[in-house]
Copies of this chain bind each other. A is one copy, B any other.
């Protein structure tokens, strides 16, 4: 059973248990891992090899009621999901601040910009201003294709939509501007390869 997460990610209920998408991941049947799980595993690999320190931020929760039973852990009895004010992933690689969000689409021919929210774009713009490396990690789920799209390219199309531009970025455009990431064994999603290319590009300018 799959629930829609407030921010668009999936929330998986497996064997009757609720799984926090931050902390508990389930390899469910033959359907493979969630994109989030794949990224977290990749980050774990990068961390274990001393290559980067990048983590997913916890899901923001608005806590309303907590019980404090004697001699046992505080139990949250009422809480709600909150909208994140930043992107989901950040950290440090080779002296660079890294910041990105991961988005999936079932669309075959384009990536709908509605996957992003204005505050996420604003956040990435502010990070880029400070010299951070920001991008979107986009997965086309029907074809299992993953791209890293640099934030400046994302900003361009984001801003264009408010000037009469399209509400999506076509797949050929993403293929041309972005960096395609092939699934591998370890890490599952070797997205630092694209990050290195982005860094090199800016060093050359």
Contact = CB atoms under 8 A, between A and B. Distances in A.
Interface of A: 3, 6, 11, 17-20, 22-24, 47, 50, 52-53, 55, 57-66, 68, 73-82, 84-86, 90-99, 123, 126-127, 129-132
B64 A61 contact: no
B65 A18 contact: yes
A23 B82 contact: yes
Contact of A78 (B76, B81, B132): B76
14 contacts: A3-B68, A11-B66, A18-B64, A53-B126, A55-B85, A55-B86, A59-B61, A61-B63, A61-B76, A76-B78, A76-B79, A92-B99, A92-B132, A95-B130
Contacts of A61: 20, 58-59, 61, 63, 76, 79
